[in-house]
């Protein structure tokens, strides 16, 4: 299977060149693709092969710097030897980590290249940061403990002359702590990272946003922590840890640290001392950094967003300014179910503004890109483009202002919530991101109309109430107190009892502003009343059916009488005795007259009595069946044919 050529890396390095690497049947190749002519890719002459540490099974992370590839991967076919390496370029400058002790079963999740040489007062070198989760070394616990870590290497590192030959001399790492301040729960597994340079002209403003989860949580939970580059540099420039073999554990290093400081990049000061590259560093410095890659001081941060029941897969952050020029951070988070969460982080407060389901079925979001105000969201089979702001969802001035969305403002001219841009005039747009005060900006809003709700006793009812914004805190005024109510994020749920009727009002408060969002009058109808109503409707249906069939029977009888008379008249010859109106001959013998006047004969006066006996039935049959307890009630005819005529009457 692996004897084919599997593409493991593909990325644009500029507007005209694509960099691609493939397994090439255990002989990895990397190429530049220079042009795309129609459907044909033109491959340049630049080609690396053979000595590239691209494992055919897994490539976890690749960073391209000026055409040079830095990779975090594994180099054996079992996937048990992880390395961070400079993979391409000058063969004399290929370099990697010490595989035995520097990394412990890592899962790489992200990397960042920081140009720390720009405007550096000490002539520092550019650096590459790698983020991963690894197994904590020498921890006494019933299972392997995973820890989130960040490692750093210098771009100009060439390795040592003898010690650490073709190995990093600047590799240092430290732990990342992400803890819930209220519960002290530690989120020890980092799954994704995003790098945001707040000020594009200053690398010191770099912030890393990470998605974390807990190794021990039974249910899905995601936490977001952020780390400033300054704090990471401070930890990597701090005290070291050392491994004590006698106690088999890592402890703080308390002895003298050799000079130049181990793990440092070559700076102006070191060049003045005669160290122009890492190849010239003393063996004692290289031996120390080989044995002490772990720093003692972790980078501690508290979570600013925790989402239970959700597994975030991707994160993207951008810095925006509101109409007043104040800076805010917009976070876009993708889930494993294809949902997109947009949150705002302002003044140490974070809230999710919206939750959008992007796909018809559950698909994990695997990529997030922001380009010219639009989000491009990728799943394994689909790509979705959507604006980063959704101001249209705020329907009133109060909702638009209370949302405190830095991307939205209330347009007084169009009476709509629209996109706000930095520098726009307050004369046309209203916005208050920090306070969300509506009284001074919006005219009093009309309250919602009262909705009447009728519900049968014993049934569950849900009264909707959608908060104007995610900052709102909503409460209900209701006729009964107690724990029979279930408060939902979008309404109130309860069982309708006979005493639950009355007024229900949903009021939402935000920044001291109280707003009536929904109002209901609930009428609880008892089951006996419903049964009576159904019984009445059923009886009406029964009577209608009875009258229908009675009319049908009467019509059939009348037709029979008319036909019988016509038959009798047609059998009478000329000169015969005169007949009475009833069609019988007065000169007939009494016996014949008696035989004609049977109870079943239409001409017999007893026929009326027989019909009177049958008037309460359908065609002389009882059988109307109505079950008033059925829901919905049904009416059916039973035990009686649709029409019946006695044979004796023919």
Q: Where are the domains of the chain?
A: 1-96, 100-309, 312-430, 450-525, 534-572+579-649
Average pLDDT along the chain? 79
**For position 633, what pLDDT does the model report?**
27
Our CA angle for 318, 321, 323, nearest 5°, is 150
Domains 100-309 and 450-525 share a fold: no
Closest CA to 347 of 434, 437, 472: 434
Who has greater pLDDT, 215 or 217?
215
More confident residue, 29 or 57: 29
Q: What is the mean pLDDT of residues 600-619?
A: 39
Residues 6+ positions from 115 with CB-CB distance below 8 Å: 126, 203
- 355-412 pLDDT, tens digit per residue, is 899 998 999 999 999 998 899 999 999 999 999 998 988 888 888 888 889 999 999 8
Written as six digits, the tokens of 429 are 């747009």
**Burial zone of 188 (CB within 10 Å; 0-12 exposed, 13-18 middle, 19+ buried):** buried
The span from the CA of 32 to the CA of 11, in Å, is 10
Q: What is the pLDDT of residue 581?
A: 40
Q: Residue 308 pLDDT > 70, yes or no?
A: yes
CATH number for region 100-309: 2.130.10.10
Global pTM value: 0.72
Residue 603 predicted with pLDDT over 50:
no
- Tens digits of residue pLDDT in 149-168: 999 999 999 999 999 999 99
pLDDT band at 559 (very low <50, low <70, confident <90, very high): confident
- What pLDDT, on the 0 to 100 scale, is given for residue 608? 37
Q: Give residue 511's pLDDT band: very low, low, confident or very high (50, 70, 90).
A: low
Average pLDDT over residues 246-264: 91
In the chain, % of residues over pLDDT 90 = 40
Give the integer Cα–Cα distance in Å for 601 and 395.
80
pLDDT band at 325 (very low <50, low <70, confident <90, very high): confident
Burial class (CB in 10 A: 0-12, 13-18, 19+), 266: buried
Model confidence at 184: pLDDT above 70: yes
What ranges make up the beta strands (E) of 358-414? 367-371, 374-378, 383-387, 408-411
407 Cβ partners below 8 Å, 6+ apart?
320, 330, 388, 389, 391, 419, 420
CATH topology of domain 450-525: Immunoglobulin-like (2.60.40)
- pLDDT tens track for 522-545: 998 876 655 555 555 555 666 678
d(C-alpha 524, C-alpha 504), whole Å:
13
Q: Per residue in 67-120, pLDDT tens?
A: 788 888 887 777 678 889 988 778 788 899 986 679 988 999 999 999 999 999
pLDDT at 49 over 70: no
């Amino acid at each position: 299977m692996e004897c084919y050529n599997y593409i493991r890396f593909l990325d644009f390095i500029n507007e005209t060149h694509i960099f691609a690497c493939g397994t090439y049947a255990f002989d990895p190749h990397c190429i530049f693709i220079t042009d795309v002519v129609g459907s044909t890719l033109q491959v340049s002459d630049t080609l690396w092969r053979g000595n590239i540490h691209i494992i055919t099974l897994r490539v976890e992370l690749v960073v391209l710097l000026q055409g040079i590839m830095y990779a975090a991967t594994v180099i054996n076919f079992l996937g048990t030897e992880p390395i961070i390496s400079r993979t391409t370029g000058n063969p004399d400058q290929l370099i990697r980590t010490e595989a035995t002790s520097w990394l412990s079963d890592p899962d790489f999740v992200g990397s960042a290249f920081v140009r720390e040489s720009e405007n550096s007062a000490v002539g520092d070198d550019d650096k590459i940061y790698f983020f991963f989760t690894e197994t904590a070394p020498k921890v006494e616990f019933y299972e392997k403990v995973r820890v989130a870590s960040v490692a750093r290497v210098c771009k100009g590192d060439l390795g040592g002359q003898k010690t650490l030959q073709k190995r990093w001399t600047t590799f240092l790492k430290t732990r990342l702590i992400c803890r819930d301040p209220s519960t002290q729960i530690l989120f020890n597994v980092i799954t994704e990272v995003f790098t945001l340079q707040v000020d594009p002209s200053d690398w010191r403003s770099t912030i890393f946003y990470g998605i974390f989860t807990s190794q021990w949580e039974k249910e899905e939970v995601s936490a977001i922590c952020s780390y400033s580059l300054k704090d990471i540099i401070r930890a990597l420039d701090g005290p070291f840890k050392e491994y004590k073999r006698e106690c088999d554990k890592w402890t703080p290093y308390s002895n003298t640290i050799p000079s130049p400081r181990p793990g440092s990049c070559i700076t102006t000061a070191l060049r003045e001392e005669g160290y122009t590259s890492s190849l010239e560093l003393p063996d004692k410095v290289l031996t120390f950094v080989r044995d002490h890659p772990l720093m003692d001081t972790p980078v501690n941060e508290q979570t600013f967003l925790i989402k239970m029941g959700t597994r975030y897969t991707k994160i993207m952050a951008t810095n925006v300014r509101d109409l007043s020029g104040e800076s805010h951070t917009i976070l876009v988070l993708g889930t494993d179910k294809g949902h997109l969460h947009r949150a705002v982080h302002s003044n140490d407060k974070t809230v999710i503004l919206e939750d959008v389901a992007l796909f018809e079925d559950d698909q994990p979001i695997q990529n997030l890109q922001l380009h010219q105000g639009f989000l491009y969201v990728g799943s394994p089979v689909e790509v979705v483009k959507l604006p980063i702001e959704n101001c249209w969802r705020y329907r009133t001035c109060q909702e638009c202002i209370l949302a405190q969305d830095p991307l939205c403002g209330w347009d007084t001219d169009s009476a709509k919530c629209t996109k706000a841009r930095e520098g726009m005039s307050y004369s046309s747009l209203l916005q208050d991101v920090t306070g969300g005060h509506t009284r001074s900006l919006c005219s009093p809003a009309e309250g919602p109309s009262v909705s009447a709700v009728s519900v049968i006793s014993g049934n569950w009812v849900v009264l909707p109430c959608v908060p104007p914004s995610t900052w709102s805190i909503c409460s209900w005024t209701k006729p009964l107190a107690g724990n029979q109510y279930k408060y939902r994020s979008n309404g109130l749920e309860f069982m309708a009892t006979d005493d639950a009727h009355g007024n229900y009002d949903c009021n939402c408060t935000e920044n001291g502003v109280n707003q009536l969002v929904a109002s209901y009058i609930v009428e609880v109808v008892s089951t006996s009343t419903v049964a009576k109503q159904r019984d009445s409707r059923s009886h009406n249906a029964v009577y209608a059916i009875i009258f229908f069939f009675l009319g049908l029977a009467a019509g059939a009888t009348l037709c029979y009488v008319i036909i019988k008379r016509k038959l009798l008249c047609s059998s009478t010859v000329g000169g015969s005795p005169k007949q009475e109106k009833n069609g019988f001959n007065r000169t007939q013998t009494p016996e014949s007259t008696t035989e004609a006047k049977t109870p079943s004969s239409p001409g017999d006066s007893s026929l009326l009595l027989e019909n009177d006996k049958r008037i309460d039935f359908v065609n002389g049959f009882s059988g109307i069946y109505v079950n008033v307890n059925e829901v919905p009630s049904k009416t059916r005819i039973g035990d009686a044919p649709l029409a019946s005529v006695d044979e004796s009457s023919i």
